[in-house]
Amino acid sequence: MRGLNQILAVTWLNLRNLPQRVGSSIVAVIGVAAVVLVFAAVLSMAKGFERTMISAGSEDTAIIMRSGSTSELNSGLSNDQTLIIADAPGVLKDGDATVMSAELYVVVDVKKKSSNTDANVPFRGVQLGAFDVRKNVAVVEGRMFETGKNEIIVGRSAQQEFAGLDTGSKIRFGQSEWDVVGAFEAGGSVSESELWTDVRVLQGAYRRGNSFQSVRVKLQSKDSLDVLETALEEDPRISADVLTEKEYYSGQAEPLSEFIKLIGYPLTILMAIGAVFGALNSMYSSVSVRGKEIATLRALGFGPISILFSTMIESTILALVGGALGGAIAYLAFNGFQVSTLNGASFSQVVFDFAVTGDLLIDGLYAALIIGALGGLFPAIRAARLPVAQALREL
């Protein structure tokens, strides 16, 4: 217990005369803050993107595409095949009708508001069941499009991010003109980055005949997926992959999200190494400034362990302050900031927010803790080993 008291006493002393070592201390704090700031900012992109993608997918909706397709865009299903799916076991029926939406999308050029450059936006043809097979989708402005007409409803995120998509405007893609009759929300998920119209109209406009790319169908229960999958596997008329929508979107999110992490983690580690050097510098300087004081404490009977731990605690506290500062700035500056980027997998834009989540901030604090510990260790050892008599003699 005496050891602990000593440690606390010396630590308190250290912190009290911190103002004398303001320069070095600030440098250490800011160094760590920068690391945590960059870490949180970069990884919040991955988090935000993932969240947008994954929140779109429900576990009781299956998405069916042609076997081997890596995404909807690469897939192709005939009208007959969609009918086969409609009657397969495991699908949820509302009376006689299956709760499903056979869909097809193309990629159209729209200008990004922020940079006024072209962006590829998904233009999806859906059936009326589109609202039932997805979670939380609702028209919030204007009205739903009428089937058979060149009418579009736009996702809220798309409307915010891209130009010319306000309700009531007309937009031209290639040869055809479309009326924007409303906007829909989908819980902030990737669907909100899209433009929707009647699938028949889209097929006509883009010469797709009677073909689709995917079918989304509501499952009777979460466990019905296997039943459906088996049934379709055994049917020779159709060769398809069956996934829950959630699985599908996770897969779609993976490449970009992994890429961001591939850059983000090494970047953070490198910066952290730099911060450790900065912290070491600050702590060595701190120890040398306090030389006489440490020697005096030793002469008074404080053990070397108390000196060691108190130095490490000081370093750790400085680092944690830096970590909290960096995290706070990241949160205030970036959280909720909307951006859009190209998702290679779907070849179209996904609009998402930076998400500075709690676990990112905690990871940041862990990083700060490690930096603080490493940055304090060697100086602490030096402080503990300071030759007392010599230090007292020196001016």
Q: Which residues bind other proteins (CB under 8 A)?
A: 23-24, 26-27, 30-31, 34, 37-38, 41-42, 68-71, 73-74, 106-109, 114-115, 117-120, 173-175, 206-207, 255, 259, 263, 267, 270-271, 273-275, 277-278, 280-282, 284-285, 339-342, 344, 347, 349
β-strand partners of 89: none
Nearer to other proteins by Cβ, of 5 and 67: the residue is 67
Nearer to other proteins by Cβ, of 282 and 310: the residue is 282
Name the CA dihedral angle for 81, 85, 88, 91, rounded to a multiple of 10 degrees. 180
In the bound complex, what is the minimum distance in angstroms from residue 104's beta carbon to other proteins? 13
CA distance 387 to 262: 47
CA distance 65 to 75: 6
Decide if 184 contacts 196 (C-beta within 8 A). Answer: yes
CA distance 151 to 163: 17
Nearer to other proteins by Cβ, of 274 and 303: the residue is 274
Establish how many alpha carbons lie within 13 A of residue 124's alpha carbon, considering only the half-sphere containing its beta carbon.
Answer: 28
In the bound complex, what is the minimum distance in angstroms from residue 259's beta carbon to other proteins? 7
In the bound complex, what is the minimum distance in angstroms from residue 342's beta carbon to other proteins? 4
Tokens of 208: 């797709």
In the bound complex, what is the minimum distance in angstroms from residue 106's beta carbon to other proteins? 6
Establish how many alpha carbons lie within 13 A of residue 248's alpha carbon, considering only the half-sphere containing its beta carbon.
Answer: 26
Nearer to other proteins by Cβ, of 1 and 395: the residue is 395
In the bound complex, what is the minimum distance in angstroms from residue 250's beta carbon to other proteins? 14
Nearer to other proteins by Cβ, of 41 and 383: the residue is 41
In one-letter notation, the amino acid at residue 15 is L
Nearer to other proteins by Cβ, of 57 and 278: the residue is 278
In the bound complex, what is the minimum distance in angstroms from residue 229's beta carbon to other proteins? 19
CA distance 203 to 184: 22
